[in-house]
Structure formats: structure tokens, C-alpha cells
Amino acid sequence: MSERKIRVVVAKPGLDGHDRGAKIIARALRDAGMEVIYTGLHQTPEQIVATVVQEDADAVGLSILSGAHMTLVPKIVALLDEQGAGDVLVTVGGTIPADDIPELERLGVAAVFTPGAPTDEIVEFLRGNVAEPVS
């Protein structure tokens, strides 16, 4: 029986170039045995959702350090729903003020990882929360 690897899109929405965190996460997830697709920088919500759909991803991690999370995340979540990918696990990482986390969770974000979050915590979260693939 072959176990399907967890497929994760690591995405950088918005215009900023702070990709240190996204690249560290991408590498840590890859080292943990997941299939990682890193979008690269400056992605629009449309581009990110297209990648998620095309790659048939189980999860998408959005790295945002520009302060534009309350504009970008709702758009991405809505587009995923529209494209029939509403079951994809969405996580957010970056400089996200604590006050914004409940609203992001209400929108359907499964977890928000703020500065200082260890990578193994993120690996474990994905392993524990990605829906069991249908065999």
C-alpha cells in the first residue's frame, strides 16, 4: 500500500519580498517528507488559487508580512470555495497581530503561525489536520 504524500503549496501573496520564512517553511516541510510547491513572490490571490487547484494540494500556507492579510486572506479563501477547493487546509504565517487571528479563523483559516513558531510545530499541525486521503 503506497501512502500518498501530503501536498502543500507555500505561497507568498502580495507585493512584499520577505521570503525568508516562506523558504524555511518550504524546506522544513520538504525535509519532513511532504511534496512542496513554492509559488515564488508577488502572487495574486488568483494565481495562488490556480496553483492550489492545478497541483491538487491538500494544504496551502500563506506567508504574509506586509500587513495586507485582512485584504488578501478573505479573497483567497473565497476563491478557493468558488473553485471547489474549499476543503483545502489554509494556514497563515507572518506578522499577524493577535487581534486579527479570531477573524482569520472565522473565515476558515485552520491555524495562524506567528514569529517564533517552530517548524516542527507546523509539520505536526499539517500531519494532524490534513484530511486523510481517500485510498
Partner 1 sequence: MAIEPGPGRRAHRWLAEEYQRENERDVPFETLSGHPVAPLYTPDDLSGHDPERDEGFPGSFPYTRGVYPSMYRGRLWTMRQFAGFGTVEETNERFRYLLEHGQTGLSCAFDMPTLMGLDSDHSRSLGEVGVEGVALDTVDDMLTLFDGIPLDEVTVSMTINAPAAIVLAFYAVAAEERGFDPARLGGTIQTDILKEYIAQKEWCFPIEPAMRLVTDMIEWCSSEMPRWHPISISGYHIREAGATAQQELAFTLKDGLTYVERAVERGLDVDEFAPRLSFFFNAQIDFFEEVAKYRAARRIWARELRETFGAENPRSLLMRTHCQTAGVSLTAQQPLVNIVRTTIEALAGVLGGTQSLHTNSFDEALALPTEEAVRIALRTQQVIAHESGVANTVDPLGGSYFVEKLTDEMEAAAYDYFARIDELGGMVRAIEASFPQREIADAAFAHQSALERGDRIMVGVNAFEVGDDEPTEIHRPDPAAERRQRERLAATMARRDGVAAATALAGLAEAAAADRNLMPPLLDCARARVSEGEIVAALQGVFGTYSETPVY
Q: Minimal distance in Å, beta carbon 127 to partner 1?
A: 17
3-state secondary structure 87-134: CCEEEEEECCCHHHHHHHHHHCCCEEECCCCCHHHHHHHHHHHCCCCC
- Report the nearest approach of partner 1 to the CB of residue 24 (Å): 5
Which residue lies nearer to partner 1 by CB, 81 or 100? Answer: 100
Interface ranges with partner 1 (CB under 8 A): 14-17, 19-20, 23-24, 26-28, 38, 40-42, 44, 66-68, 70-72, 95, 97-98, 114-116, 118-120
Which of 54/133 has CB closer to partner 1?
A: 54
Phi/psi for 107 (5° steps) reads: -70, -15
Compare residues 6 and 10 and give the one whose CB is closer to partner 1. Answer: 10
